[in-house]
Amino acid sequence: MKKYNYEDAVLKEIPEPEKDCTLIPVDISDKTIEQRKQKIIEKMNQRKIDVLLIYADLEHGNNFEYLVVFLPRFEEALLVFHKDQKAYLVMGNENLNKVSKARLQCKAIHAPYFSLPNQPMNNTKSFKDIMKETDIENKRIGVVGWKNFTSLYEDNRQLYDIPVFIMDALIELCGKENITNQTDIFIGENGVRTINEPDEIAHYEFGASLASDCMLDALNALQEGVTEMEIGDILSRYGQRNSVVTIAAFGQRFIKGNMYPTLRELQLKDTVSLTVGYKGGLSSRAGYAVHSSSELDEDVQDYMHKVCAPYFIAIAAWLENIHVGMTGKEMYDLINDVLPQEKYHWTLCPGHLTADEEWLSSPIYENSHELIQSGMLLQSDIIPFVEGYGGVSAESTICIANIKLREKIKEQYPEMYQRMMKRRKYIIENLGIQLHKDVLPMCSTLAYMRPFMLSKQAIIINHE
């Protein structure tokens, strides 16, 4: 394996990457929706599951959204999907009229129990009786919430993350012995949502590149006296739904429990944390509000050496080595070798899948035998902690693509392919990171890092 040295990370003035979001959202094709449906049916048949009961609310609805293509806003909802393709949407008062908008044919079932407090609930049926209408009695049921449990101590098939009144009705109708958690059909190892077709990649590239463009604008707007709210306004665009809480934080965070941008003004030497995410990707940056290390307090003037350089080299190693067929263990061990966990105190997965939600799941964890596969979208998410120093971040989004997928993207979405090639060229030539051929950048600011965030010229590059 190539030897990685922290000394290779140096500051240099280089051209700024170009903002390149098209501002044209891309819809998922009918063909892909049909493929999604067939993939799920194949998994159901393999596991001898008769019916999937897919739960949704606004924050926990992306497995539901995979087939339905919309979220139930402020109510709960259920998609009851039979292996013979018969489907029911169980909806509350204010989502019942959306059933006709679903991307698969469904019968509407009204469940006022899903409605907002004190709205009309004049029905004369129990929730169990409502669920009888979905033809689930005495069938083998797979429950799909949003979380793929991977506990070493619990029976993960018997852990459920949906409301208890729904589970109680299921147990009465089907018997506990016929119910299992099947969320991993969607997001577990080889889950149907972990691999993307070209139109899905184009759909998600819109959000990933929008987050990147917003981040670059926010970085360029940083100056003494600007408020967190002004930067937060730059990070959020066009009414698009965010996949995470937008962060624009200067100095001490979470004062009185607040998680959102305030009127606090940026001051010299403040730590800065910026994050924005949309469907398909997140961009995050962190550093200090200074022009150079000389403006930092003496005890952190080696921030570049102690924190930024090791982190950047780890990101470079991640991008240069990730490829189709690599195991999660291989990547985990690589990052642990380049950025030792006992010294840099990162605790989460060094990289994870992304989709409609920012964190879908991750094949990259200790001793993981899961494979990195063509069609995966990943976040370069490594979070070190060095005591006494501010944080560091340059998280962005990539697509993993073998030659077959690259050719399909080139043929079906030539303009997106050219954007990806232009991004690769910038990263290789300007940042000095020799991207693996399987890496397609989903945005223009991948690995672009300004540790001294009042300077638009001091960019970290890999100078071997």
**Residue 140 maps to which CATH number?**
3.40.350
**Using 50, 70 and 90 to split pLDDT, how confident is the model at 124?**
confident
Which pLDDT tens digit goes with each residue over 299-334? 999 999 999 999 999 999 999 999 999 999 999 999
Residues 249 and 372 in one domain: yes
Residue 93 CB contacts under 8 Å (≥ 6 apart), including other chains: 75, 110, 112, 114, 115, 116, 119, 120
pLDDT of residue 102: 96
Residue 426 CB contacts under 8 Å (≥ 6 apart), including other chains: 17, 444
Residues 22 and 65 in one domain: no
Residues 149 and 200 in one domain: no
Residue 39 lies in a domain: no
Residues 102 and 73 in one domain: yes
Which pLDDT tens digit goes with each residue over 325-364? 999 999 999 999 999 999 999 999 999 999 999 999 999 9
**Using 50, 70 and 90 to split pLDDT, how confident is the model at 268?**
very high
pLDDT of residue 430: 98
Residue 56 lies in a domain: yes
Residues 86 and 106 in one domain: yes
pLDDT of residue 104: 94
pLDDT of residue 39: 98
pLDDT at 464 over 80: no
Residues 394 and 315 in one domain: yes
Q: What domain range includes position 383?
A: 6-26+193-462
pLDDT at 180 over 90: yes
* Residues 254-265, mean pLDDT to the nearest whole number: 96
Overall domain count for the chain: 2
Number of H helices, E strands in the chain: 13, 16
146/162 Cα distance (integer angstroms): 9
**Using 50, 70 and 90 to split pLDDT, how confident is the model at 463?**
confident
pLDDT of residue 312: 98
Of the three residues 131, 151, 181, the one that is the final residue of a domain is 181
* Residues 36-64, mean pLDDT to the nearest whole number: 98
Residue 419 lies in a domain: yes
Residue 37 lies in a domain: no
pLDDT at 57 over 80: yes
Residues 295 and 419 in one domain: yes
Q: Are 447 and 433 in contact, with CB atoms under 8 Å apart? A: yes
Residue 207 lies in a domain: yes
Which pLDDT tens digit goes with each residue over 403-415? 999 999 999 999 9
Q: What phi and psi, each to the nearest 5 degrees, are found at residue 78? A: -135, 135
pLDDT of residue 122: 80
Residue type, 441: P
Residue 75 lies in a domain: yes
Residues 225 and 286 in one domain: yes
**Using 50, 70 and 90 to split pLDDT, how confident is the model at 235?**
very high
Q: What phi and psi, each to the nearest 5 degrees, are found at residue 79? A: -105, 120
Of the three residues 151, 181, 211, the one that is the final residue of a domain is 181
* Angle in degrees, 0-180, between the axes of helices 414-430 and 403-412, rounded to the nearest 10: 120
Return the percentage of the chain with pLDDT > 70, whole number.
Answer: 100
Residues 201 and 81 in one domain: no
Residue 408 lies in a domain: yes
pLDDT at 217 over 90: yes
Residues 208 and 312 in one domain: yes
pLDDT of residue 345: 97
Other beta carbons within 10 angstroms of residue 23's beta carbon come to 10
Residues 347 and 286 in one domain: yes
What is the overall mean pLDDT for the chain? 97
pLDDT at 121 over 90: no
- The verdict on pTM exceeding 0.85 is yes
Residues 155 and 204 in one domain: no
Of the three residues 153, 181, 209, the one that is the final residue of a domain is 181
CA atoms within 13 A on the CB side of 461: 18
